[in-house]
Amino acid sequence: MTEVVRIDRGTDVLLVIDIQNDFCPGGALAVADGDAVVPVANDLIGRFANVVLTQDSHPEGHSSFASSHEGTEPFSTMEMSYGPQTLRPDHCVRDSSGAAFHAGLETGSADLIIRKGSDPAVDSYSAFYENDRTTPTGLAGYLGTRGFGRVVLVGLATDFCVHFTAMDARREGFGAVVVEDGCRAIDLAGSLDRAMTAMRDAGVIVSTGDALLT
């Protein structure tokens, strides 16, 4: 069920999750229809006083790349020191065109860019923690220091980086709103339904761009 949400420009932050070339059509790890989130994100960027962007930023040879492990294929699973890791095609390599934000995304008013996945040995889905679940990105400290109480999320992908970020926001004591029409999912073997159920169970509000009142 979509909820109407009134946004507080003083205490709410828009989190724009990984709207990068490699996650959009034509990219190395494209989400179907991923570029359709750009207009929704831009509309909200213009309506929020506080905006944070996240950016997947991997060094070459990152441990989450299948190409870094001889004899493995993309989307197979490997056990890492921090648990099972799905191996991906090389993507969002630091300073590459694939790592760049989508050209249509309005990035100029962002207050902060969180770059994640930069440790060559640890992947990162959440904007709050690396996948070892102990290494923080600094986002929680930034939000707390600035006195922000809630994050509103758009971006890619609903069932991975958006999901992990929303769940960590709740664990860190922040409110969280996912703008459903501003996200697109991978939806692998039911992953979207599982993510939406988990987020709602954790108290994440699911809304749409039109239902956000600013």
Please state the domain extents for the chain: 5-59+90-213
Contacts (Cβ under 8 Å, ≥6 apart) of 2: 180, 206, 207, 208, 211
Which CATH code, of 3.40.640.10, 3.30.1490.190, 3.40.50.2300, 3.40.50.850, is assigned to 5-59+90-213? 3.40.50.850
Catalytic residue status for 183? no
Structure tokens at 192: 């979207």
Catalytic residue status for 111? no
Catalytic residue status for 116? yes
User: pLDDT for 49-102, tens place per residue?
Assistant: 999 999 999 999 999 999 999 999 988 999 998 889 888 999 999 999 999 999
Structure tokens at 134: 């102990």
Choose the catalytic residue: 18, 35, 90, 123. Answer: 18
Intervals of the chain under pLDDT 50: none
pTM: 0.95
Choose the catalytic residue: 12, 35, 123, 161. Answer: 161
| pLDDT at position 142 | 98
Choose the catalytic residue: 12, 35, 92, 116. Answer: 116
| pLDDT at position 128 | 98
Structure tokens at 173: 């004591």
